[in-house]
Amino acid sequence: MLVDDIIRRVEGWLTLKEGRLLYNLARKSKKCIVEIGAWKGKSTICLALGSAHGFCVPVITVDHFHGSKEHGRVDTFKDFVRNVTHANVDKYIVVYKMKSADAAEKFGMTIDLLFIDGSHEYEDVKTDYRLWTKKLVKGGVLAMHDSNWPGVRAVIRNFMRHDFKRLKKVDSIVWGRKN
């Protein structure tokens, strides 16, 4: 499977099972897909490949491409562009190179699939959750990566388990459908 090759080749922390999950969720999406946090494009490519093999909806990726507390200040944008171009999925991707809150303010479409993998600090995760899930259609899917991090785990416990049904877990991604 092409997704498996991408997972092995592109730097990042997404597992094979997580990449396949994102691919399959994106393949079924009939409206816009939004990803918060792209790093070097591994998850973006999985989402874009799924879209390309499904309904060809745009994949909006939101990242300032300067790393985070746990990584220090880095510039990942050149690696991101190289990786999505090499995977031949760049035509499906729209990049919002900015902070998540700024992008949410400008963004006006409804979302079918939302993948949150930005900052793992509680206040940041909560802000991403609140700003972006209100744009998610009823029955739309939210997937949150790194559920083992305290900030992400707290948002899942405090908000997601109340707003989403039939939560499932694949490695460190917790996902469910909006009530």
Tell me: pLDDT of 15 over 90: yes
Tell me: pLDDT of 5 over 90: no
pLDDT for 118-142, tens place per residue? 999 999 999 999 999 999 999 999 9
Collapsing DSSP to helix, strand or coil, 35 comes out as strand
pLDDT for 41-98, tens place per residue? 999 999 999 999 999 999 999 999 987 766 667 889 999 999 999 999 999 999 999 9
Under 8 Å between Cβ of 145 and 173? yes
Residue 72 has what pLDDT? Answer: 67
- Tracing tokens 């700024």 back to the chain, one arrives at 102
Collapsing DSSP to helix, strand or coil, 91 comes out as helix
Tell me: pLDDT of 116 over 90: yes
Tell me: pLDDT of 106 over 80: yes
Q: Stretch 13-42: mean pLDDT, rounded? A: 96
Under 8 Å between Cβ of 44 and 84? yes
Nearest Cα to 132, choosing from 118, 121, 149, 146? 118
Mean pLDDT of the chain: 94
Residue 45 has what pLDDT? Answer: 97
The CB density around residue 170, as the number of other CB atoms within 10 Å, is: 16
Residue 2 has what pLDDT? Answer: 76
Indicate the pTM of the whole model: 0.95
The CB density around residue 68, as the number of other CB atoms within 10 Å, is: 17
Q: How confident is the model at residue 1 (pLDDT cuts 50, 70, 90)?
A: low
- What burial class does residue 56 get, using C-beta atoms within 10 Å of its C-beta: 0-12 exposed, 13-18 middle, 19+ buried? exposed
pLDDT for 154-174, tens place per residue? 999 999 999 999 999 999 999
